[in-house]
Amino acid sequence: MSSAKNFEELYIWKLSRDFCKDIFKIIHYKEFSKDFRLKEQIRASSGSIMDNIAEGFERNGNKEFIQFLYISKGSCGETRSQLYRVFDSNYIIEEEFNDLKQKAIRISTSIENFIKYLHQTEIKGSKYKKQLLNS
């Protein structure tokens, strides 16, 4: 695991939380707020990014954490795709779309880099420390 003591310290979680806040702002725009299905889809997928980072971290082992990071990265791609639908429906302007799309790409890249780090590190997580001590 990383040297973080809790998921709230993770840079990728902080980025994801800020992105989620940005998504929550746009879903309250007048016209967008009436598109219940798309609004709920993008709300759920953007929340899933940060939630899966947190859940994976709390598993206390790199293998499970990496699995949840891949799910988080997938949710980020899903949210980015939904942003195209939001933009194509004229719920947001091009500047907002480009800003949100770039944030999603930054999160996805950061998650990918963190996964690479976890694959290379010798630290496997506190779950495995406990197993070694009990052996």
Q: What is the CATH number of the domain that holds 22?
A: 1.20.1440.60
- 114 exposed, middle or buried (CB, 10 Å; 0-12, 13-18, 19+)? buried
Is 77 domain-assigned? yes
Report the C-alpha gap between 33 and 132 in whole angstroms: 52
Question: What's the mean pLDDT in 125-135?
Answer: 46
**How many structural domains comprise the chain?**
1
Quote the pLDDT of residue 125: 61
1 lies in a domain? no
Residue 3 has pLDDT above 80, yes or no: no
- Residue 2 domain flag: no
With a cut of 50, say whether residue 1 has pLDDT above it: no
- Whether residue 13 is contained in a domain is answered as yes
Q: Where does residue 13 rank: exposed (0-12), middle (13-18), buried (19+ CB within 10 A)?
A: buried
Domain span at residue 41 reads 7-133
- Reported as a single tens digit per residue, the pLDDT across 54-77 is 999 999 889 999 999 999 999 999
Angle between helix 11-26 and helix 94-120 axes, rounded to 10 deg: 160
Cβ proximity of 96 and 26 under 8 Å: yes
Is 97 within a domain? yes
* pLDDT at 27 (0 to 100): 94
Please state the rounded mean pLDDT for residues 108-130: 80
d(CA 59, CA 16): 19
